[in-house]
């Protein structure tokens, strides 16, 4: 890229074009406004017995607000259950998929 995100914003905003940089997850997690908007929340997690930072809920309801009480699943944590119980794969098929590197 020949210009930085800031340079593009400075160029476009005077023209009435809405522009802002796109943050990655790490940048967003370090943005105070993201925390103020509850995109991230801190909650006590029984699984690890401590406070953890997690993504907030995508919507907020005034009468029945939700809360985050557990960590999300690990990558591949429920793959075997979904394949066998929901999609009807046999254990032999699951083993074959693992050997092929198609699943964790």
Give dist(CA 77, CA 29) in Å, integer. Answer: 24
According to the model, what pLDDT value does residue 5 have? Answer: 87
Helix (H, G, I), strand (E, B) or coil at 89: coil
Burial class (CB in 10 A: 0-12, 13-18, 19+), 8: middle
Higher pLDDT: 16 or 104? It is 16
Quick check: pTM over 0.75? no
According to the model, what pLDDT value does residue 98 have? Answer: 96
Residue-by-residue DSSP string for 64-80: S-----SPPPPTTTTHH
What are 59-69's pLDDT values in tens digits? 888 899 888 87
Give dist(CA 42, CA 51) in Å, integer. Answer: 6
């Amino acid at each position: 890229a020949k210009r930085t995100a800031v340079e593009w914003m400075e160029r476009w905003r005077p023209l009435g074009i809405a522009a802002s940089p796109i943050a990655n997850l790490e940048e967003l997690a370090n943005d105070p406004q993201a925390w103020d908007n509850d995109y991230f929340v801190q909650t006590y997690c029984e699984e690890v017995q401590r406070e953890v930072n997690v993504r907030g809920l995508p919507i907020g309801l005034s009468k029945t607000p939700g809360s985050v009480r557990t960590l999300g699943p690990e990558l591949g944590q429920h793959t075997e259950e979904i394949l066998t119980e929901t999609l009807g794969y046999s254990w032999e098929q699951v083993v074959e998929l693992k050997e092929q590197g198609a699943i964790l």
